[in-house]
Each structure stands twice: as C-alpha cells, then as structure tokens.
Amino acid sequence: MASAADWISTTQEGAETIWSLQGDWTIHNAQVIDRQLQGRIKPSGKVAGQPRKIDLDLENLSSLDSAGAWLLTRLARDCRAAGAEVGLLHIQPRMQDLLQRVIDAAPDNKAPEPPRRNLGDWVAQIGKAVIDVWTLSLDLLAFFGALVEVTVRAIVRPRHLRMNSIVSHIEQTGLNAMPIVGLISFLVGVVLAYQGADQLARFGAQIFTVNMVGISVLREMGILLTAIVVAGRSGSAFTAQIGTMKVNEEVDALETMGLNPIEVLVLPRVLALVISLPLLTFFADIMGLLGGGLMCVLLVDMSFQQYLMLLRQAITVSQFGVGMIKAPVFAILISLIGCFEGMRVTGSAESVGKLTTKSVVEGIFLVIVFDAFFSILFSMLGV
Amino acid sequence: MSSSPTNGQHNAAALPVLGPTLPGPREEMAVSIRGLVNRFGKQVVHDGLDFDVKRGEVMGIVGGSGTGKSLLLRTILGLNKPAEGDIMLLGQRAADLNEAQWQRVQARCGVLYQSGALFSSLTVAENIQAPMREHSDLSNDLMDELAALKIQLVGLPLDAGDKYPSQLSGGMKKRAGLARALALDPEIIFLDEPTAGLDPIGASDFDQLILSLQRSLGITVVMVTHDLDSLVAICDRIAVLLDKKIRVGTMAELMQDPHPWMQEYFHGPRARAAGMGAAGMSAAAGRGSGTDAAERG
C-alpha cells in the first residue's frame, strides 16, 4: 500500500505534465486523497504552472472503487476547467468498465441549491396554515355530521348497533383503564390535601382542606384527569387501530362490501367511550376523595368518619353533577378526534404514527378548551 | 482456518452438477456455509445446509414459500443466530469475530431490503450518506458528491436526492435502496426480491442495472427472487432451497433435476413464458415444453 504522502505524484513537469496515481483509490482513503488533490487545484480553479496538457497515469493504481473513480473523474474535470487538455494513460482493463460508468454517471455540477426562503414565503406559510386549520375544522364538522346521521339511523333501527364491538371497546377503554385512572386520581387527591392543609394551616382554616379537596376533585380534577388519561390511552388507540386498517385497505374492503365504515368502526367506539368515560370519572372521583381523606386523617388530625361528615356538608349533589355532565361531552370529543384522525391516515405506516400523535394532542387540547367553556357556562348559570 | 475438504465437498465431487459447495479454499469464497441448521421450536427450516458463493458471481436463491430463503439471507448477514453451522462471510468466520470485527465485515456488505427500507425521516441523499457517516471519515462536501454520483449510477434523476422516501414511487425506492446499499462500495450485495412489486419494464430495467453495476464494480451479488425473468437474465448460478437443503447449479443443470418441485418450477407455464424452455430445450426434449416455448417465441 502506498504511503499517505503519494497518492498522486508528478512524474513529468512542464507544458506536458504527467501525474501518476498510486495506491488504493477507495472510499476508505477518499478523504486523504481529496485533501491531496485540493493541493493541486488552486481555489481559483487554476493548476500550478498552468500546463497545457495533463496526463493522468493509472499504471500504478492498485485498486479503484467508485469513490476513487469519482475523485479521478472530478480531477480530470477540474483540470479541463483550468484550461488544460486531459488524457488518461495506461488504463488497466479491470478498471475500464467502472471508470467508464462513473464518467457517464458523473453529475456535471452539484445538485441545484434549494431556493432560499424570503419574507413572502413566510407569509404564505402562515396563510397556508390558517387555511389548513379552517379546512380541517370543516372536515371534522362534516365527520361529526356523518356520525350524527349514522347514530340517528342506529336509534331508529337498533340492529345497526354492533353490541359485541361496543362491549369489547367498553372493556378496553373503561375496565382496563381503571388501575391507572384510579391510581392517578388517588395520588392527586393526596397532593391536593397535602398542599391545601399546608397553606390553610397558616390562617387556621385547616378544616377547610376537606372543602377544597371535595370541590376540586368533583368539579374539575376527577373528570379532567380521567379525560386526559383516556385521550392518551384510548384516543391514540382508536387512531392507530383505524389507521392501520386504512393502511391495510380494510376500510376500503368494508366499503365495497356495502358496509358504512362510520357505522362499523366509529359508532361503536364513540358509544363505548360515552358509556365508559362517565363510569371512569365516577371511579376517579371516589379514588380522589379517598386519597384526600387519607391525607386529612394523617395531617389534619381528624377521623375518617369526621372527614366523611365534613365532606357531606361541603359538597352538594350539583358539585358532583357539574363534573359528571362533562364526561359524555369529553367522551364524544376524544373518540371523535381519535376516529377522525384514524380515517385521515393515507398510504404509509408513517402517517399512522404522525396522526396518532396529532390525535392525542388535539384530543387533550379540545378537552381543556371545552372545560373552559363549561366553567364560563356554569358561572353564568350560577351553578 | 481450515481449508480441508468437508463432507459437503466430497458430495460435490460425486455430484458435480448439483453439489452445493465448490472446491477450493473457503476463505476465497464470498459466502461459505457448512452444516447450517435453523429451527423454530420443533420446526426445522434448514437441516445441515452447505452453500458457497464465489466472488464476483451473481447467485439467485429460489424456493417455495416458507423454505427459508429470507432466513438464509438473514443468517448470512448475522441477523439470525443459527442453531448450528459454520458461516464464513468474505473469508471471515462469524463465530471467530467479536462485535466490532463483525461490524467491519458488515460494512463491506450492502443489503437491499424488499421494500427499500429507506429511513423515512431522511432524504434519499442523507440515506445514502448514512453508512458513509458511520464507517468513513469523509467530509460533508465529498459525501454530497458521492451521494450525487450514486444517485446517478442507479439511474435516478439528480433532484431525487432532496426527496423523502414517501415522495418516491416503488421503483424509485428500490433504486434509492440500491444506491444506499452501494454507498460504501461493498464487495458483496444481498438483494431481497429486488424486482418484486415492479412492473415488467421496471423489473427488467432493474435487472439490467444490477447486472451492469455488478460487471463494472466487480461485486458479488446474492439475490432472493421469485422472478423467473431475473433468474434467466442475470444469474450465473441458482440455489434452490428444497427439502431443508440447497441445490446449486446453472439454469441448464437445474432443469435436468428430476425432483418434482424442480420440474414444476423450471418447466411450469411461467418458466416457459420467461423463455426458460428455450434455454433448457435439450434438457426438456420429449416433454413437449420445448416446442411450446418455440411456438411462443
């Protein structure tokens, strides 16, 4: 193997220069060779000594691969650009095919630079984003309309309801979510009571910890946490399930069998979530109150019976109702977004992943937006 | 490093036509396998399989569904650990190497997976540069130039370099996958059903591309294929996975094999349509398929 110093050496100088190439011109040496070649071609594009004719002698080349052939081709091109005539001497037969192929394929110049962005593009991008959001909202509304239509039809003729599917989705989205929802609400109950007791103790109102835990868990925390967990857990699952079916063309198969995909795939999921989310919320409320109760017993020096009694004075049925009434609305939002994004999957498995992420983000976002609407509504109604 | 003849080679001497192994030191083979056993639970896929691929040849691997063609490929590449067997890739015995040494051997191989397996988050040019980044010290400029060269070599338009795989058609994905497989100028490339999913014109273009690259770059090609046209057009020798073993020969040799599966495969209607009947006319004389092929032209 040639030493690093002499991949290319000048064997004859003057008007007719000969450069002799040596060693392994392969991809592993390409970087070193490239650096050495740069010494021969000046940044201005001129060759030192400005020879009229340059011959590249390949006799001593021990091996050549396509990277080496490219460097060789580029060297010849640069020399020609510098105004010299370039010839190749002693081409070894085993390298001929490769060299010819690379010369034929050699890109003349680098790929065209991507157009630079200016202010106009930036404005156009914002405009496009706005239009995209608008059309997306219209699509979602249309999807909701189609769902309502299918629901009405199912109510009129209940055999359109797929009970097996509904029950199985209730199990997946409700029953199987109980451990995680229960644990999270319990812990949030604990945290609320702990923080509340700490702050309220400063002005001797420690006893009101019970009011705080009761009201915040029943009105907001129970339903909000449940909805967020379900959006992450079941909304994403809906998108992934339906999206995978889209990729496999199963949805098209359903349609050509004369079945309505919304009726078969979407309606059971929406109904299942409308049933299971309120149940989960109720469960979360209980667990949250238990968690708060535990901390009250430990920190505020009361018995569990006292906690329950105070709780009964602190909250009313309407507090509970305010939380629960949001559950079916959130259920529709989450399942609608989940199924809608699933239906938007096209072609590749890649888009399943992308839209699943989107469905979770949009689901949680809409849940919180609607929660804010509910707050405004309830305060106007004075509940 | 043993170069003494094994049982397989004795068989090869007795049955020169169908012997799966070749005489000569195993270190000089691109791929050399002895006594390969692959099994899943009780189901045995390969049972004492011997297989040699010479340097510089185009080897086609065929076989019915479930005979373990892809598994054989995965085993050679080290993606599947066999139950038994001795595997040599480019003169290196897999069992003797540590992880870093094996990775160096792998860097000398290129693989084209069935659907391209291009990284979807990278552009075509970045895909081609990915192996260069890992296994060489090239500057960014040089990598850009080499990526552009590979894109041209596989017959893609230059502006394909900036596209993402999702923006390419099936045939372009395969070409881009081939460009990536060639990124490090490998000594051997493995192709898993390279023409599956291409239209006949695209498939035959792709065959010719592989053949011309193989000739000019001097690489060894091992391809799993179901495409009889490819077999006829570009393979020097063909390996047939049959009864958990392998039979290797040229097309003409394999056509004379009396095994019923071989008869059906190489003399079936699709084989005749691919023009095999003409190639094996002498072999098939008296069976009528020869005249059939002649009539079909």
> A with B: how many residue pairs have Cβ under 8 Å apart?
77
Q: Which residues pair with A178 in a beta bridge?
A: none
B217, closest residue in chain A (CA to CA): A98
Yes or no, beta carbons of A30 and B146 under 8 Å apart: yes
**pLDDT at residue B8, as a whole number:** 39
Provide φ and ψ at A55, rounded to 5°.
-110, 135
Yes or no, beta carbons of A27 and B217 under 8 Å apart: no
Yes or no, beta carbons of B215 and A97 under 8 Å apart: yes
A-chain residues near B211 (CB < 8 A): none
User: Is 50 exceeded by the pLDDT of residue A144?
Assistant: yes
Yes or no, beta carbons of A66 and B150 under 8 Å apart: yes
User: Is 60 exceeded by the pLDDT of residue B279?
Assistant: no
SS3 of A238-281:
HHHHHHHHHHCCHHHHHHHCCCCHHHHHHHHHHHHHHHHHHHHH
B125, closest residue in chain A (CA to CA): A111
Contacts of B133 (CB under 8 A, 6+ apart): B143
**pLDDT at residue A5, as a whole number:** 59
Question: What is the rounded CA–CA span in Å between residue B213 and residue B192?
Answer: 17
Q: How many of the other CB atoms lie within 10 Å of CB of A22?
A: 18
pLDDT band at B293 (very low <50, low <70, confident <90, very high): very low
Which of A116-130, A273-287, A312-326: highest mean pLDDT?
Answer: A273-287
Nearest CB partner across the interface for B162, out of A30, A105, A114: A114
As a whole number of Å, the CA-based R_g of chain B is 20
Residue-wise pLDDT tens digits, B90-139: 888 888 888 888 888 888 888 998 888 888 888 999 999 988 888 888 88
User: Is 60 exceeded by the pLDDT of residue B12?
Assistant: no
User: Is 70 exceeded by the pLDDT of residue B64?
Assistant: yes
Question: Would the CA dihedral through A303, A308, A309, A313 be positive or negative?
Answer: positive
Q: Specify the higher pLDDT residue, B289 or A336.
A: A336
The interface predicted TM-score of the complex, written ipTM, equals 0.72
B139 touches chain A (CB under 8 A): yes
Q: Domains of chain A by range and CATH?
A: 4-105 (3.30.750.24), 150-381 (no CATH)
Question: What is the rounded CA–CA span in Å between residue B255 and residue B263?
Answer: 7
Contacts of A361 (CB under 8 A, 6+ apart): none
Mean pLDDT of A309-336: 93
Question: What is the rounded CA–CA span in Å between residue A135 and residue B32?
Answer: 60
Residue-wise pLDDT tens digits, A39-50: 777 777 777 777
User: Is 60 exceeded by the pLDDT of residue A16?
Assistant: yes
Pairing of strands A8-12, A23-25: unpaired
The answer for A 7-26 residues in CB contact with B (under 8 A) is 26
C-alpha to C-alpha distances, A314 to A183, A289, A293, A303, B12, nearest whole angstrom? 24, 12, 13, 16, 92
A-chain residues near B216 (CB < 8 A): 97-98, 100-101
Minimum distance, in Å, between the CA of residue B89 and any CA atom of chain A: 20
Yes or no, beta carbons of B120 and A111 under 8 Å apart: no
Question: What is the rounded CA–CA span in Å between residue A146 and residue A152?
Answer: 10
Yes or no, beta carbons of A66 and B137 under 8 Å apart: no
A-chain residues near B142 (CB < 8 A): 30-31, 34
B138 touches chain A (CB under 8 A): yes
Residue carrying structure tokens 């019923």:
B260
Residue length of chain B: 297
Q: How many of the other CB atoms lie within 10 Å of CB of A137?
A: 10
Pairing of strands B58-63, B84-89: unpaired
Interface test with A, best of B149, B151, B189, B208 (most A CBs within 10 A): B149
Classify residue A234 as exposed, middle or buried by CB count within 10 Å of its CB (0-12, 13-18, 19+): buried
Nearest CB partner across the interface for A31, out of B120, B139, B216: B139
- Residue among B121, B143, B162 nearest A348 (CA): B121
B160 touches chain A (CB under 8 A): no
Residue-wise pLDDT tens digits, A54-101: 888 888 888 888 888 888 888 888 888 888 888 888 888 878 878 888
Yes or no, beta carbons of B153 and A101 under 8 Å apart: yes
Mean pLDDT of B224-243: 86
A28 touches chain B (CB under 8 A): yes
| Averaged pLDDT of chain B | 79
Minimum distance, in Å, between the CA of residue B68 and any CA atom of chain A: 25
Question: What is the rounded CA–CA span in Å between residue A310 and residue A197?
Answer: 15
**pLDDT at residue B276, as a whole number:** 63
pTM: predicted TM-score of the whole model, two decimal places: 0.70
Contacts of A79 (CB under 8 A, 6+ apart): A41, A47, A54, A86
User: Is 80 exceeded by the pLDDT of residue B22?
Assistant: no
- Residue among A214, A208, A183, A187 nearest A196 (CA): A208
Alpha helices of chain A — where are they, by DSSP H? Answer: 30-40, 66-81, 93-105, 119-156, 163-173, 178-200, 209-216, 222-230, 236-247, 250-256, 261, 267-299, 304-314, 317-343, 349-381
Q: How many of the other CB atoms lie within 10 Å of CB of A250?
A: 14
The answer for B 163-182 residues in CB contact with A (under 8 A) is 166, 182
| Averaged pLDDT of chain A | 88
B158 touches chain A (CB under 8 A): yes
A213 touches chain B (CB under 8 A): no
A33, closest residue in chain B (CA to CA): B138
Which residues in A197-232 are b (16+ Cβ under 10 Å) and which e?
Answer: beebeeeeebbbbbbbbbbbbbbbbbbbbbbbbbbb
In angstroms, how far is the first alpha carbon of chain A from the final one? 88
pLDDT band at A253 (very low <50, low <70, confident <90, very high): very high
Minimum distance, in Å, between the CA of residue A149 and any CA atom of chain B: 36
Yes or no, beta carbons of B146 and A70 under 8 Å apart: yes
Question: What is the rounded CA–CA span in Å between residue A342 and residue A236?
Answer: 9
Yes or no, beta carbons of A66 and B153 under 8 Å apart: yes
Nearest CB partner across the interface for B148, out of A67, A110, A347: A110
The answer for A 343-372 residues in CB contact with B (under 8 A) is 347-348, 350
Yes or no, beta carbons of B132 and A27 under 8 Å apart: yes
Classify residue A50 as exposed, middle or buried by CB count within 10 Å of its CB (0-12, 13-18, 19+): exposed
As a whole number of Å, the CA-based R_g of chain A is 36
Nearest CB partner across the interface for B146, out of A67, A97, A111: A67
User: Is 60 exceeded by the pLDDT of residue B2?
Assistant: no
Contact by Cβ (8 Å): A265, A245: yes
Q: Specify the higher pLDDT residue, A53 or A156.
A: A156
Minimum distance, in Å, between the CA of residue A98 and any CA atom of chain B: 4
Yes or no, beta carbons of B138 and A27 under 8 Å apart: yes
- Number of helical (H) and strand (E) elements in chain B, helices listed first: 13, 10
**pLDDT at residue B275, as a whole number:** 66
A-chain residues near B117 (CB < 8 A): none
- Residue among B130, B234, B227, B107 nearest B176 (CA): B130
Coil, helix or strand at residue A115: coil
β-sheet with B84-89: strand ranges across: B43-53, B31-40, B84-89, B92-93
**pLDDT at residue B135, as a whole number:** 83
User: Is 90 exceeded by the pLDDT of residue A337?
Assistant: yes
Contacts of B15 (CB under 8 A, 6+ apart): none
Yes or no, beta carbons of B166 and A347 under 8 Å apart: yes
Contacts of B164 (CB under 8 A, 6+ apart): B120, B121, B122, B123, B124
The percentage of residues in chain B with a pLDDT greater than 90, rounded to a whole number, is: 7
Pairing of strands A8-12, A16-21: antiparallel
pLDDT band at B287 (very low <50, low <70, confident <90, very high): very low
A115 touches chain B (CB under 8 A): no
Q: Where are the domains of chain B?
A: 117-185
Minimum distance, in Å, between the CA of residue A112 and any CA atom of chain B: 8
Yes or no, beta carbons of A105 and B217 under 8 Å apart: no
Mean pLDDT of B156-180: 87
- Residue among A111, A260, A190, A89 nearest B141 (CA): A111
A36 touches chain B (CB under 8 A): no
